[in-house]
Amino acid sequence: MRAGRRLAAVCIMCLILTAALGACTGGRNGGDTSQQASSAQGASSTADSGESASDAGQTDAAQTRDDITIGIPQDIDSLDPHAARAAGSREVLFNLYEGLVKPSSDGELLPAIASAWTISDDATVYTFTLREGVLFHDGSAVTAEDVVYSIERCADPEQPDTFQSALEAIESVSVTENGEVEIVLGAPDSEFLAQLTCAIIPAGNATPAQTPVGTGPYKYVSHAPQQNLVIEKFDDYWDPDHAAHIRNVTFKIEADVNTVVMELKAGTIDMFCRLTTDMYTQLADDFTIYEGTMNLVVAMYLNNAHAPFNDARVRQALCYALDKEEIFDFIFDGSGTPLGSSMYPSFGKYFDASLNDTYTTDIDRAKELLAEAGYENGFTFTLTIPSNYDQYVDMSEVIREQMARIGVTVNIQLIEWNSWLSDVYGGREYEATIVGVDASTMTAAAMLSRFRSDASNNFVNFNSAAYDTAFANAKAAVDDDEKTAYYKECLTILSEEAANVYIMDMPNYVALNPAFTGYVYYPLYLMDVAALRPVN
């Protein structure tokens, strides 16, 4: 016992001593520490550079390298493509499953299992011609029955609302006599095509979570919960132009983001997609860095049903207290895309930059609003944060300070991701949380349907009759301009009612081992592993 304690003490001592010596060079120059420290890092990590030199030596041999390990910040919540709720799950499942159509990196919809389609003029009848020779991972060919089964399964009200609410509008799915699939909608919906990215699985496969079989460029090999997910190149993929280049892919779950930099440097993972600014600056020398945006609406989501957030004035007060620039400066070295409503700029026409100015930091106005609502002495609320997202934890600390300026006390509570999904997102048992919400498809509806009063995934309990009407009008509109106008009205309502304290879309840095290349950004929260290839 005693020897063990001493050993532990000695170990910690050694660790700290190393850190201390490393810091000595960095500490001397007071002003320009970050520069200093990074050069000190270069000097002190000779062992490292030796290793990367040998890495470089291996690059010739690595031309044939056909395995890659990709770090992901959370485990897959389900391998069932129709049941997976988390954006982090969908970005991985994107490689295993395909729908009738699939999103491209420029936001368009490409034919996938369907080779062509026709849409009736009133946007109620969608007819799809299936591609010849598309195989499932188990070797069987995709038939019209599989498509009908998958769409009906996905539209089942039991499923979570990723595609479900949109697919519920389907009146009938049937196979026509010449083998085409015909989908008839109860009401016109010109955006419906985007929902058909919903995954096609073999008919009769009632438990895809246990037997994940799709048509994607990769097939499932194994899944060790909280550890990793292994997938392998599917040799019979229908599209030779987009077939996978790398044979074996392992997604390693990094529940502790703090170790990602060390893992990347040590070579235990080759790629990580959601680097913070801090992490990126430490990796810029040794990795290929891709810059983009996260494509998330990051906000302090408020439980609108919970007092005092059921009072719009309180929510607005929090918005006035927020200082986005300060968050950018503290956490993202000044970069970041401010958001004023539930839409991010990659969406193009729906994004309305003027909504960013609905609230500008104004402490006096915030206090006034609080006083009007009867909280002149402030109040206390609990901010629940998923602990695996370092940026959200950092944001919570900054926001805690900002809210203190208007007399509102914030207690931060970190919880594990799975508890967040079940208690906060699923159970709606929370007061406020910071998280990024993504769109499952490239439609405004995917982003906005969740704020309907009765939406099953309305985890903020937003309740506004005006919003419901505007959303219904947008859905019903066939003319694109009219539709866009109604969606913008929805966004304005969210902003003015202060449904949530909207913050930003985050800058996103992807670090990729220089032995590989080809990472592509999508305007959705997706990771296209098939596009990655070894450097020639």
Give the CA distances from residue 121 to residues 125, 126, 196, 410, 479, in Å, rounded to whole numbers and listed in that order: 8, 10, 18, 53, 11
Residue placing its CB nearer to another protein in the complex, 391 or 500: 391
Does 51 bind another protein (CB under 8 A)? Our answer is no
Residue placing its CB nearer to another protein in the complex, 99 or 336: 336
Q: Of the listed pieces 5-13, 175-183, 433-441, 447-455, which binds another protein according to CB under 8 A?
A: 5-13
Does 43 bind another protein (CB under 8 A)? Our answer is no
Give the CA distances from residue 522 to residues 104, 296, 301, in Å, rounded to whole numbers and listed in that order: 7, 12, 25
Instruction: Please report, as residue ranges, which positions from 275 to 304 form the binding site for another protein (by CB under 8 A).
Output: 276, 278-279, 281-282
CA dihedral 302, 306, 307, 312 (to 10 degrees): 50
Query: Which residue type occupies 476?
Result: A
Say which residue the tokens 């096609």 belong to.
Answer: 200
**Cβ neighbours of residue 242 under 8 Å, at least 6 residues apart?**
217, 530, 531
Query: From start to end of 139-270, where are the E strands?
Result: 170-175, 181-185, 218-224, 228-233, 248-253
Least Å distance, CB 282 to another protein, is 4
Among 223, 265, 313, 428, the residue binding another protein under the rule CB under 8 A is: 265
Instruction: Please report, as residue ranges, which positions from 93 to 112 form the binding site for another protein (by CB under 8 A).
Output: none
Least Å distance, CB 433 to another protein, is 14
Among 262, 305, 307, 371, the residue binding another protein under the rule CB under 8 A is: 262
Least Å distance, CB 71 to another protein, is 14
Does 30 bind another protein (CB under 8 A)? Our answer is yes
Instruction: Please report, as residue ranges, which positions from 115 to 154 form the binding site for another protein (by CB under 8 A).
Output: none
Burial of 164 (0-12, 13-18, 19+ CB in 10 A): buried
Q: Give CA–CA dist 510/519, Å, rounded.
A: 8
Among 54, 226, 258, 536, the residue binding another protein under the rule CB under 8 A is: 258
Does 9 bind another protein (CB under 8 A)? Our answer is yes
Say which residue the tokens 């997604």 belong to.
Answer: 251
Least Å distance, CB 511 to another protein, is 13
Among 223, 245, 400, 428, the residue binding another protein under the rule CB under 8 A is: 400
Task: State how far Cα 169 lies from the chain centre.
Answer: 26
Q: Comparing C-alpha atoms, which of 491, 435, 424 is closest to residue 459?
A: 424
Q: Of the listed pieces 106-114, 200-208, 386-394, 518-526, which binds another protein according to CB under 8 A?
A: 386-394
Peptide bond into 202 cis (omega under 30): no
Length of the chain: 536
Contacts with another protein, 333-372, as mask; x by CB under 8 A: ----------------------------------------
Residue placing its CB nearer to another protein in the complex, 8 or 206: 8
Does 330 bind another protein (CB under 8 A)? Our answer is yes
Among 62, 414, 485, 535, the residue binding another protein under the rule CB under 8 A is: 414
Q: Of the listed pieces 33-41, 308-316, 439-447, 505-513, which binds another protein according to CB under 8 A?
A: 33-41
Residue placing its CB nearer to another protein in the complex, 376 or 401: 401
Say which residue the tokens 């949109």 belong to.
Answer: 166
Does 53 bind another protein (CB under 8 A)? Our answer is no
Q: Give CA–CA dist 85/87, Å, rounded.
A: 7
Least Å distance, CB 24 to another protein, is 10
218-224 and 228-233 beta bridge pairing: antiparallel
288-293 and 516-517 beta bridge pairing: unpaired
Among 129, 211, 387, 517, the residue binding another protein under the rule CB under 8 A is: 387
Least Å distance, CB 317 to another protein, is 21
Do 331 and 391 form a contact (C-beta atoms < 8 A)?
yes
Does 396 bind another protein (CB under 8 A)? Our answer is yes
**Cβ neighbours of residue 212 under 8 Å, at least 6 residues apart?**
79, 80, 81, 96, 97, 220
Does 59 bind another protein (CB under 8 A)? Our answer is no
Pair of tokens at residue 371: 């006083």
Does 8 bind another protein (CB under 8 A)? Our answer is yes
Does 13 bind another protein (CB under 8 A)? Our answer is yes
Residue placing its CB nearer to another protein in the complex, 206 or 262: 262
Torsional sign, CA 98, 102, 106, 107: negative
Helices (H), 32-75: 33-44, 46-61
Among 129, 259, 461, 463, the residue binding another protein under the rule CB under 8 A is: 259
Among 27, 50, 179, 427, the residue binding another protein under the rule CB under 8 A is: 27
Among 110, 119, 230, 412, the residue binding another protein under the rule CB under 8 A is: 412
Q: Give CA–CA dist 356/423, Å, rounded.
A: 30
Q: Give CA–CA dist 520/106, Å, rounded.
A: 10
Does 26 bind another protein (CB under 8 A)? Our answer is yes
DSSP structure class, residue 348: G
Least Å distance, CB 498 to another protein, is 24
Q: Which residues bind to another protein, rule: CB under 8 A?
A: 1-2, 5-6, 8-9, 12-13, 15-16, 19-20, 22-23, 26-31, 33-34, 36-38, 41, 45, 256-259, 261-262, 265, 276, 278-279, 281-282, 326, 329-331, 387, 390, 393-394, 396-398, 400-401, 411-415
